[in-house]
Structure 1
Amino acid sequence: MLKILVADDDRDMCLLLQRFLSRNGFEVQTLHTGKKTIEWLQGNKPDLILCDFRLEDMNGDELLKKAKELHYEVPFIIITGYSDVKAAVDVMKHGAFDYITKPLFPDEILLTIKKALAEKNIQTPAPVRENTETAAPTPTALGSEYIHGNTAEFRNILKQIDLVAPTNYSVVIYGESGSGKEVIAREIHARSRRSAQPFVAIDCGAMSKELAGSEMFGHEKGSFTGALNQKTGSFELANGGTIFLDEIANLSYDIQVSLLRVVQERKMRRVGGVKDIDLDVRIIVASNEKLWDAAHKGKFREDLFHRFNEFSIAVPPLRDRKGDILLFARHFLEITNGELGKNVRGFSPEVEDIFLNYVWFGNLRELKNVVKRATLLTEGERVEVSSLPFEITHFEKLRFDQGSESKDAVDPLPPVMTEPKKEKEFKSLKTASLDAEYEMVLKALEEVDFNKSKAAKLLNIDRKTIYNILNQYKKIKQL
């Protein structure tokens, strides 16, 4: 059986990759630090190495060099975020076969692995058949953190999904950031005739202008500096299935021109290529601004808008679906309990009341982050008000202090969250310092999705210091 080594300090990601690759016939070894990986390689030889660019103790470039010192010439694939793509290209110059950008898609992972092994004339195994009722989740399920709402507004959306899913219509999904547009796109795909084919999601807002063409359409070897291997783009990966283009209005004009040809002719060319590739792909796009307004302002091609606008779905913000707030909050609590190994059973009545009366500018994404933060700070069986962030618990007072005309009015952006000034009242220097440390820790935790090891690395401290700061802050607030 072919053996793949996965080196990633995100243990959840390692588990998902191990399950996914195992079901596709591979033997998988997972390790979480560069040091342990090098030690393991001294006595073992995998057929392929899948490595996160940023490990706790070294980056992918260092690990590749050390592996080569052990006379390893196995295919080496880098996992990276968009911000590290240039660095990943540099690693390819040192001998890596290819890189895969986050978020990870099963089809892209498998295709890249197969291409890397094929270059070494190694035949890939057949997938392992499993009972679908007991099958473990694949990396596709990594984003499946949302459930269906029970409000009339969401039931209306489900009716629209049922109506359009069996067709091949392009769909435009409108909604504020964090309202669950990608979840709806996945639901359309799952209920369509293409459900057995790939679903590929692209965040257009996260792609740089220089890399957008390569990410969407792929590139040929040598087509630009750093293109050391042929790369399959997202449209080609989604062939036969569905591609989801989130925040479509952020695409540059040049990419919009290329995209128009794909939509009109159902053909594409890789960057630097001369051969047309036929496409059979359904396109779903999403935007937090009205595309017809963007078209009228000259920010978005009007002809491209009309190609996409065969059907549209508007997702109401969470503040207009109050009946769904506690449903999602309990769901996120259940997920966070599993991630943190805790057993917080619910929310106090005061917390539920705050949740129901808050505006949720960031919608489901903001609610999820608030629940994760509160669960982290909770030591008892229920989340109490003391575990909620200041901007949530003092929201109404902050709005009043800023001269808001109405409690129900919604500003386009959240108010500046600063504590009201109190005359002739000072914090002790120690308390002020702890407050600043606490805020820095929370920001770091949110940046890395509450992975304490990565947060500690960002702050250049150890995990124990993070626990100490959180515990000290909790004790002071309870005094």
Structure 2
Amino acid sequence: MAKILVIDDDRDICVLMNKFLSKHGYHTQECFSGKKALEMLEESDDFNLVLCDYRLDGIDGNEMLEKIKQIHPSLPVIIITGYNDLKTAVELMKKGAFDYVTKPLHPEELLKTIQQAIQSAEQESEFVPSRNEPAVNATPVASAQHTSSKEKPKHSSFTVSGEYIFGTSAVFQQIVEQIALVAPTDYSVIIYGESGSGKEAIAQEIHKRSKRSNYPFVAIDCGALSKELAGSELFGHEKGAFTGAIGQKAGSFELANGGTIFLDEIANLSYDIQVSLLRVIQERKMRRVGGIKDIPLDVRIIIASNERLWDAAQKGKFREDLFHRFNEFTIEVPPLRNRREDIMVFAKHFLQKANESLNKNIVGFSPNVEEILKNYVWHGNLRELRNVVKRAALLAMGDVVDTKSLPYEVLNYQAQNEEPVSEPVHHPVVEHFAPIIEPPKSNSLSYKRPFENSLKEASIDLEYEMILKALKETNFNKSKAAKLLNIDRKTLYNKIKLYQDLNNR
């Protein structure tokens, strides 16, 4: 039976808490002063949880929390406060509180928070040795909210699904604080950030820290939903609702009931689906496509976009009333190029993952490689960095990643975009994996090869110049260049290969 220490100078509250928690199978011990409670904690280590009022005679919740953590670093503490102050809440979470609850207390919500705290502490006890490891070695189950070391790390460092870690920059520390603040609520959250910056991982962390963590987290890429099937994917359908509907299907909202649904790139949803989504938010119920019965919903909605939804609303691409429904809390995820101090933290983490996958033991990066990685623009953000590190680990011959293992576009970024180079660094093995156009010897976009004069060859020359110009405008990001040229990425690669073959003749 779990044992809970209740600290409150209001004796009536203690009596009520004792009755309520005893009824649900917990053993409680009351204490009416902070000083006496600290003495009890010094003498005993058999408490599983502390419920502490924020305002006690002679000591406040912040000081009480610090002293409890000094005595028992891994003991979860829930602070009870009558003031819903955001600054206070952030300070409490930073100092190690598992959660905070505001008065008047809602018994069922409090009970669920207590259950989560005790369960989390039991799980964390199995991973105590990893708590003081650097961010690169953080285990997937580690959570900044439940750090069990004596002193909470200056910067949170934890992974989501073994793939994502939070960096050490001040800007990411702010994101961690925002997550800690909004997670216990039921607010809708908008996450803004470029593709590959980790928006879904942040949504997962919000869910993991919320009171819905024992229920499903369902992620949907709205950009991948066709207009015809989006309604079925989100809300489900009944048998015979449309051609091909051979059976009943539950939609993503129904599957996420009780938990959290994450809608990535939500601006891509059609107007009709936005109307249906607005009804779901307003009425907290939905109806399957072709159905006649309303299904009650209790779902937290987190959305993400790489464009400003307010701007999209002003252009008529996104419903303004839907934007206002979602706009309860916003988190900005900065691109990797704007927080260069995080680049090597992530790079080392991805290298560790690559070592595990390839059964290698590469210990790190050469100083030159570190400098190159820090100065590259990373248009694909974490996703691009991860892929570059994975490929470099595969090509590395020694126990350190050197420049020979880097892709041409990363290795020659400065040369391609800032200054002409006389002898660009060249590596044939990397070229085999990613064909490129060599940068011209001058700043001119006109780069003629020794072709015979003919209409066909003139057309190839003009095409080359257009592709080279598009690559320069996008910092040699081939995906963006292909989009700018209105061709697909495979076509772009084939044309680049053609120019290489012609140059080699």
CA contact (8 A) 2:140 2:162 kept: no
**CA apart distance, 1:205:** 0.8
Q: Does 1:154 align with 2:177?
A: no
Q: 1:147-192, CA deviations, whole angstroms, 9 ceiling, x for partnerless residues?
A: 1111100000011111111111100000111111111111111111
Residue aligning to 2:438: 419
Residue aligning to 1:21: none
| Distance change in 2, residues 1:323/1:137 (3 Å) | closer
**CA apart distance, 1:425:** 10
**1:263-278 maps to which residues of 2 (within 5 A)?**
263-278=281-296
Query: What code does the residue aligned with 2:336 have?
Result: L
TM, length-normalised to structure 2? 0.53
**CA apart distance, 1:417:** 6.0
**CA apart distance, 1:208:** 1.2
How far apart are the structure 1 equivalents of 2:197 and 2:448? 43
Q: Does 1:314 align with 2:332?
A: yes
Residue aligning to 2:402: 384
**1:73-222 maps to which residues of 2 (within 5 A)?**
143-222=161-240
CA contact (8 A) 2:369 2:401 kept: yes
Query: What code does the residue aligned with 2:201 have?
Result: V
How far apart are the structure 1 equivalents of 2:393 and 2:438? 23
Is the radius of gyration larger for structure 1 or structure 2? Answer: 2
Q: 1:289-333, CA deviations, whole angstroms, 9 ceiling, x for partnerless residues?
A: 000000000000000000000110111111111111101001011
**CA apart distance, 1:144:** 3.8
% identical equivalent positions: 68
How far apart are the structure 2 equivalents of 1:397 and 1:220? 58
| Distance change in 2, residues 1:321/1:137 (3 Å) | closer
How far apart are the structure 1 equivalents of 2:196 and 2:411? 21
| Distance change in 2, residues 1:336/1:322 (3 Å) | same
**CA apart distance, 1:228:** 1.0
Q: 1:433-466, CA deviations, whole angstroms, 9 ceiling, x for partnerless residues?
A: xxxxxxxxxxxxxx9xxxxxxxxxx9xxxxxxxx
Aligned partner of 2:277 among 244, 255, 259 = 259
Residue aligning to 1:291: 309
Query: What code does the residue aligned with 2:318 have?
Result: F
How far apart are the structure 2 equivalents of 1:424 and 1:259? 55
How far apart are the structure 2 equivalents of 1:156 and 1:349? 30
Unmatched runs of 5 consecutive residues or more in structure 2:
1-121, 128-138, 142-158, 421-434, 442-446, 451-478, 480-489, 491-505
Residue aligning to 2:60: none
Instruction: Please provide the CA RMSD for this pair.
Output: 2.8
**CA apart distance, 1:401:** 5.4
Three-state SS of the structure 2 residue aligned to 1:335 is: helix
Aligned partner of 2:378 among 356, 360, 376 = 360
- State how many pairs are aligned: 284
Aligned partner of 2:354 among 316, 327, 336 = 336
**CA apart distance, 1:349:** 0.7
Query: What code does the residue aligned with 2:187 have?
Result: Y
Q: Which moved more, 1:377-386 or 1:283-292?
A: 377-386
How far apart are the structure 2 equivalents of 1:160 and 1:181? 14
**CA apart distance, 1:340:** 1.8
Unmatched runs of 5 consecutive residues or more in structure 1:
1-130, 403-415, 427-446, 448-457, 459-479
Query: What code does the residue aligned with 1:320 have?
Result: N
| Distance change in 2, residues 1:142/1:164 (3 Å) | closer
Query: What code does the residue aligned with 1:420 have?
Result: P
How far apart are the structure 2 equivalents of 1:260 and 1:336? 43
Which structure is higher in RCO with an 8 Å CA cutoff and minimum separation 6?
1
CA contact (8 A) 2:160 2:204 kept: no
Which runs of 4 or more aligned residues in structure 1 lie more than 6 Å from their structure 2 counterparts after TM superposition? Answer: 133-138, 423-426
**CA apart distance, 1:236:** 0.5
Three-state SS of the structure 2 residue aligned to 1:185 is: helix
CA contact (8 A) 1:398 1:417 kept: no
How far apart are the structure 2 equivalents of 1:375 and 1:254? 47
